[in-house]
Amino acid sequence: MATGPRLTINIRVKRFEAAPAALFENLRLDIAPSSVVALVGPSGIGKSTLLRLIAGIDTAFDGSIEIDGVRAAAASTPGFVFQDPRLLPWLTASDNIRAASPGCSEQEAHTALQRVGLATSGSLYPHQLSGGMQRRVALARALAVNARLLLLDEPFVSLDRTLVGEMHLLFSRLIAEGRPTVVFVSHLTDDAARLADRAILLDHRPARIVADIALPIPPAARDAAVLGQYRTLLDSFSGVECE
């Protein structure tokens, strides 16, 4: 049974005052419960802004975004992973999680860290953690805040490809275990090919959906041939790139 919420996005207009053209105009998107959706497109197209709109952080737009029928700004706070870990340097890994989710107990923070492979790292401070470990703490924090809806903004950026591979495996396992609804941003088609069951490709200004592609084979069953097919399919649309 699905555990993640349904998202209904209807943005009539989203603009920034200093910009000559609207960022979004008549953008409509329905995201099914427990789906993993990749927002792919060139830098500056509005992917991160769309995540902030879904999260209810940015409410300055004309239209509506609902999470299981509740306005995004009034819905439960989603679990959000930013491009950088954004850990408070004066708090331990465990306390960083508890600071973001005040109702989280010490045991629950430990469980969240355990889920991302950091069961023995709760007492460490950010400067004692590698870059990959900091990303894992950020993911554990998001799970503690809201394990049903995860929003990830370029979660694998600036990591070497070995660490990216490890994070891909971790991410896939967590999604299979908890079945949340996930929306993640990437400018790389490889991330979508490996992790998503649906890829939304954005381009132009105002940004519009240039392709809405189903990727039905489960990530765990995607061999090199399938990944190659998915990458080729996604790369056939302009404004995206592969690594």
| pLDDT tens by residue, 172-185 | 999 999 899 999 99
Higher-scoring residue by pLDDT: 129, 205: 129
User: What pLDDT was estimated at residue 2?
Assistant: 57
How many whole angstroms separate alpha carbon 221 and alpha carbon 211?
Answer: 24
| pLDDT tens by residue, 16-57 | 988 788 999 999 999 999 999 999 988 888 999 999 999 999
Helices (H), the chain: 47-55, 93-100, 106-115, 131-145, 161-178, 189-195, 224-235
Q: Are 117 and 136 in contact (CB under 8 A)?
A: yes
Output the pTM of the full model.
Answer: 0.91
Nearest to 243 by CA among 156, 150, 167: 156
How many whole angstroms separate alpha carbon 92 and alpha carbon 121?
Answer: 9
Query: How many CB atoms sit inside 10 A of residue 141's CB?
Result: 27
Q: Are 220 and 172 in contact (CB under 8 A)?
A: yes
How many whole angstroms separate alpha carbon 172 and alpha carbon 182?
Answer: 11
Q: Are 134 and 85 in contact (CB under 8 A)?
A: yes
